[in-house]
């Protein structure tokens, strides 16, 4: 079964109703009927294709791979990548799925209960996963660390021009080495990011490939003391980072020191000389974001519970109280236990656990 191969699906993702197969080898066709659980069907109209229904459709390939066929053992696989995905209809709550296996991938087609096309996928790649050993995640967690750069020797001050709005970009003349956009928030993240987005879009359509757009913030990043003083400008960093990924070597992000009121002019030449796309300036130190493994401190051992140093108050009299006391001494090695009252308050047989008995060490009057 799937559970024996390491698969475990919650109630929302148990949508596979029927699976059958036709053919074999590299020309195997797999068919399935999948549907959302009854409690999720009302949500189907809110999605192009409900995530749980899409997952159920892809489980068809998982089930086919897990089944032994043609003398070959089944495999434990997970969806890895797909290409050519097209959504032909929205709001489906049930699907009829057809998968055709190829040498390295499979094609996927899905229709609704009336036969109307809902989904097609040119290629679905499954990758085998190991289930014979527990997964280890030691050392797999990373964090962004601001790392100090060595001192940078800057050349002559570069030519630069300020830009504040998208209209300023086409007005630039002479192709300066840098166009500087100062982006400080004043608490309004939406207005700030909208203005920066308009400038970035204008910059990327302008014929200024030899120039750099330098977006300057102040206190937007937790470099140095780890304090962010302009959260609205932090949103600018998220926006511009995405643009940098799509358009390398066109935009530079610089976060100035919130404790220093100087503008970007004194550091602009050094910033461009580093060749780094993202920098933070704190005093005379330049820092850049780098990924580093998270060091997890060793966990403290859990409390040992009852042990030789434990003293246990047994407040109940009777046979159960005596049995509890005997268990604590014999099983857990408790060195001390006591009854709150003398004489009649103690259960019958308590004298067998007197100070002469092993493990007895009175700790209370």
Phi and psi of 277, rounded to 5°? -80, -20
Q: Is the pLDDT of residue 37 over 70?
A: yes
pLDDT tens digit sequence for 204-235? 999 888 899 999 999 999 998 889 999 999 99
Q: What is the pLDDT of residue 356?
A: 46
CB count within 10 Å of CB 23 equals 11
pLDDT tens digit sequence for 105-151? 889 999 999 999 999 999 988 888 776 655 555 667 889 999 999 98
3-state secondary structure (DSSP) of residue 147: strand
3-state secondary structure (DSSP) of residue 210: coil
Q: Across all residues in the chain, what is the average pLDDT?
A: 82
Mean pLDDT of 17-25: 83
Q: What is the pLDDT of residue 1?
A: 60
Q: pLDDT confidence of 345, banded at 50, 70, 90?
A: very low
Query: Directed axis angle between helix 231-246 and helix 189-205, to 10°?
Result: 20
Can you spell out the DSSP letters for 262-312? --SHHHHHHHHHHT-SEEEEETTEEEEEEEEE--PPPPPPPP--S-TT-EE
Q: What is the pLDDT of residue 271?
A: 94
pLDDT tens digit sequence for 58-97? 888 888 777 655 545 567 788 888 899 999 999 999 999 9
Q: Is the pLDDT of residue 323 over 50?
A: yes
Positive/negative CA dihedral, 48, 51, 57, 58: positive
Q: pLDDT confidence of 162, banded at 50, 70, 90?
A: very high
Q: Which residues contact 99 (CB under 8 A, 6 or more apart)?
A: 29, 30, 31, 32, 60, 61, 64, 106, 107, 108, 109, 124
Q: Is the pLDDT of residue 318 over 80?
A: no
Stated as kind and residue range, the H or E segment containing 236 is helix 231-246
pTM metric for this prediction: 0.51
Paired sense of beta strands 29-35 and 285-293, if any: unpaired
Domains identified in the chain and CATH numbers:
3-128 (3.10.129.110), 142-293 (3.40.50.11460), 311-353 (no CATH)
Q: Is the pLDDT of residue 354 over 50?
A: no
């Amino acid at each position: 079964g799937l559970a024996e191969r390491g698969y475990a699906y919650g109630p929302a993702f148990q949508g596979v109703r029927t699976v059958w197969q036709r053919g074999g080898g590299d020309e195997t066709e797999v068919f399935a009927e999948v549907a959302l659980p009854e409690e999720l069907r009302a949500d189907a109209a809110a999605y192009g294709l409900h995530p749980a229904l899409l997952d159920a459709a892809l489980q068809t390939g998982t089930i086919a791979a897990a089944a032994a066929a043609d003398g070959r053992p089944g495999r434990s696989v997970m969806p890895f990548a797909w290409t050519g995905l097209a959504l032909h209809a929205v709001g489906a709550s049930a699907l009829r799925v057809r998968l055709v296996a190829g040498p390295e991938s499979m094609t996927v087609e899905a229709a609704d209960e009336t036969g109307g096309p809902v989904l097609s996928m040119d290629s679905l790649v499954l990758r085998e996963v190991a289930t014979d050993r527990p997964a280890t995640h030691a050392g797999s967690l990373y964090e962004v660390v601001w790392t100090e750069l060595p001192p940078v020797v800057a050349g002559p001050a570069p030519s630069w021009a300020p830009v504040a709005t998208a209209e300023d970009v086409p007005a630039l003349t002479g192709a300066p080495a840098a166009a500087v956009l100062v982006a400080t928030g004043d608490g309004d993240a939406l207005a700030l990011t909208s203005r920066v987005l308009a400038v970035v879009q204008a910059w990327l359509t302008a014929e200024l490939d030899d120039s750099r757009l330098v977006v300057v913030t102040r206190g937007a990043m937790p470099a140095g003391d780890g304090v962010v003083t302009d959260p609205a400008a932090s949103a600018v960093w998220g926006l511009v980072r995405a643009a940098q990924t799509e358009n390398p070597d066109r935009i530079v992000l610089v976060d100035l020191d919130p404790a220093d009121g100087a503008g970007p002019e004194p550091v602009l030449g050094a910033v461009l000389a580093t060749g780094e796309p993202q920098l933070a300036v704190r005093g005379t130190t330049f820092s850049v974001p780098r990924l580093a493994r998270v060091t997890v401190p060793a966990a403290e051992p859990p409390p040992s519970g009852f042990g030789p140093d434990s003293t246990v108050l047994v407040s109940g009299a009777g046979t159960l109280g005596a049995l509890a006391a005997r268990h604590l001494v014999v099983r857990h090695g408790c060195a001390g236990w006591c009854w709150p009252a003398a004489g009649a308050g103690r259960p019958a047989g308590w004298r067998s656990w007197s100070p002469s008995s092993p493990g007895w060490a009175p700790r209370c009057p």
